[in-house]
Amino acid sequence: MYALSMSDERQKPGPSGQTEADPAALLDRVARDRDKAALAELFAIFAPRIKSMMMKLGADAALAEDLAQETLLSVWRKAHLYVAGRGAVATWIFTIARNLRIDQLRRQSNKPYVDLESIEIESDARGAPSLLEESEIVDRVSRAIETLSPEQREVVRLSFVHELPHAEIAVRVGIPLGTVKSRLRLAYDRLRPMLEDLH
């Protein structure tokens, strides 16, 4: 049925990234052919990383794993809604995991987190698609993040990976809230030219 041939290589975040199949191609196979082997490969790439991210923001291993599973199941169910050329698959999966995490927190609220995709469907205004390959987008953004100063990178990581609100970042790092915001602004100024044509 499905290939369980993922090598250990794939379970690790190799800096090479060469051994991993292109997530955009895998997602396309899921959307068009309902291909479970492709789903299994997406699982191998993303589930352990989502689990790791969820644990950094304080989820215990069981909850982090549930959220990773839920994310991949959403990928299976939403694959046909992903618009090719609209940013990297990694970004799309990040937003799914983020929304699930928030909705979990807000479970007493019946209002799911609104993402860019649903806002755009509503306003019927999509930007021009990017012509870049998935791996190129991810590599360029990663390289751009590498150019940040250690202080800037720290607040960006605490925000996006540990998903701490700015006020909590201020406490964690021991700097005023205003400094958190100004570091993020400086980080964005630095990233912006490199992100310009990527989405």
Partner 1 sequence: MTIAFHPDISTLMAWSAGTLDEPFAVVVSTHMAMCEACRETARRTDLIGGALLKAETAEPMSDGALERLLEAADDERIDLPEPRGSDSVDPSVPQPLARYLPDGLDAVKWKFSGPGVATCELPTGTNANGRLMLLRVGAGKRVPEHGHGGQELTLILRGAYGDRFGRFAAGDLADHDEDVEHQPIAEPGEDCICLVAVDARLNFRSRVIRTLQPLFGF
Which of the residues 136 through 175 are near partner 1 (CB under 8 A)?
Answer: 137-138, 141-142, 144-145, 156-157, 159-161, 163-166
For partner 1, give the closer residue by CB, 26 or 44.
44
DSSP percent split of the chain into helix, strand, coil, nearest 5: 65, 0, 35
**Nearest residue (CB) to partner 1, 125 versus 174:** 125
Site for partner 1 in 111-130 (CB under 8 A): 111, 113-114, 116, 118-123, 125, 127
Q: What gap in Å lies between CA 52 and CA 64, rounded to an integer?
A: 7
Q: Which residues within the stretch 1-20 sit at the binding site for partner 1 (CB under 8 A)?
A: 2, 4, 11-13
Residue 26 lies near partner 1 (rule: CB under 8 A): no
Q: Which helix (H) or strand (E) holds 194?
A: helix 177-195
DSSP assignment of 3-67, as one string?
A: -----HHHHS--SS-TTSPPHHHHHHHHHHH--HHHHHHHHHHHHHHHHHHHHHTT--HHHHHHH
Site string for partner 1, 33-72 (x = CB under 8 A): -x-x--xx--xx-xxxxxxxx-x-----x--xx--xx--x
Using the rule CB under 8 A, is 179 a contact of partner 1? no
